[in-house]
């Protein structure tokens, strides 16, 4: 087994054991035993249990970020701003729905651990930054304040994390139920305030598909010389 493959295996095992037993109750020996190796192998790859914890959080962060990017890649030229919101929330909640160990660790363990706090905050910032990049494509958002897009993105991440926790406690709520709840509470308010802002600024209502088509036309237009 290559070093990279061994690291991924140990992250898989650690995530499973942390979800079952809790981080504090898990020992390096527990993880080594489950993986069928000796403790020195874990220390060689990660340095400590905290180092392994950091790698687990990074794995979740990478997967969540890629999930959002893949969801947006599915959008078409006809997609609306509401579509941008909906596919992102469905992807985020869907990831948590299909990665129960990640959800349990993230909700019940990592968020309250001093050892993981910095990594968890980095995870949140990364995903909030991905959302904020999308919001900055909206002309009206850029005219409010430099921090507006980031603030909206952080609110969205917080709400989605809360929905993940609710679904953990109440599994009868489906992914679509969670998405519909989010859209009813958050999207409706954001869309209303955005349209009001655009009207106040005398700007056309933003449509991502229309804006993308306009950008392509401008790029394709011959330059005057």
Query: Does 140 reside within a domain?
Result: yes
Tell whether 52 is covered by a domain: no
Q: Is residue 38 included in any domain, yes or no?
A: no
User: Which band of pLDDT confidence, cut at 50, 70 and 90, is reported for residue 108?
Assistant: low
49 occurs within a structural domain: no
Q: Which helix (H) or strand (E) holds 83?
A: helix 81-98
> CA quadruple 225, 210, 70, 93: dihedral positive or negative?
positive
Q: What does the pLDDT read at residue 212?
A: 41
Q: Is 159 contained in some domain?
A: yes
> Count of CB atoms within 10 A of residue 101's CB?
17
Q: Which domain covers residue 177, as residue numbers? A: 57-219
Residue 7 lies in a domain: no
Between 194 and 33, the higher pLDDT residue: 33
Residues 6+ apart with CB under 8 A from 206: 81, 137, 138, 139, 140, 194, 198
Q: What local confidence, expressed as pLDDT, does residue 171 receive? A: 83
Burial of 79: CB neighbours in 10 Å, binned 0-12, 13-18, 19+:
middle
What total of structural domains would you count in the chain? 1
Measured distance CA(61)–CA(215) in Å, rounded: 31
pLDDT digits (tens, 9 = 90+) for 71-104: 999 988 888 888 988 999 999 888 888 888 888 7
Q: Is residue 111 part of a domain?
A: yes
């Amino acid at each position: 087994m290559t070093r990279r493959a061994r690291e991924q295996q140990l992250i898989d095992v650690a995530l499973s054991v942390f979800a079952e037993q809790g981080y504090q109750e898990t020992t390096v020996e527990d993880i080594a035993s489950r993986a069928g190796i000796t403790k020195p192998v874990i220390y060689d790859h990660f340095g400590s249990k905290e180092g392994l914890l950091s790698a687990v959080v990074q794995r979740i962060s990478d997967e969540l970020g890629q999930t959002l990017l893949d969801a947006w890649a599915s959008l078409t030229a006809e997609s609306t701003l509401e579509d941008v919101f909906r596919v992102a929330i469905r992807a985020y909640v869907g990831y948590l729905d299909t990665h129960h160990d990640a959800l349990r660790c993230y909700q019940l363990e990592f968020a309250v651990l001093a050892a993981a706090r910095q990594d968890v905050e980095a995870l949140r910032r990364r995903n909030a930054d991905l959302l904020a990049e999308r919001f900055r494509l909206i002309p009206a958002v850029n005219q409010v304040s430099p921090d507006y897009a980031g603030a909206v993105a952080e609110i969205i991440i917080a709400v989605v994390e809360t929905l993940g926790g609710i679904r953990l406690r109440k599994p009868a709520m489906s992914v679509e139920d969670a998405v519909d709840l989010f859209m009813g509470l958050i999207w409706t308010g954001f869309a209303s305030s955005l349209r009001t802002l655009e009207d106040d600024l005398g700007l056309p209502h933003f449509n991502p598909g229309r804006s993308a088509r306009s950008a392509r036309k401008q790029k394709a237009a011959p330059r005057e010389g």
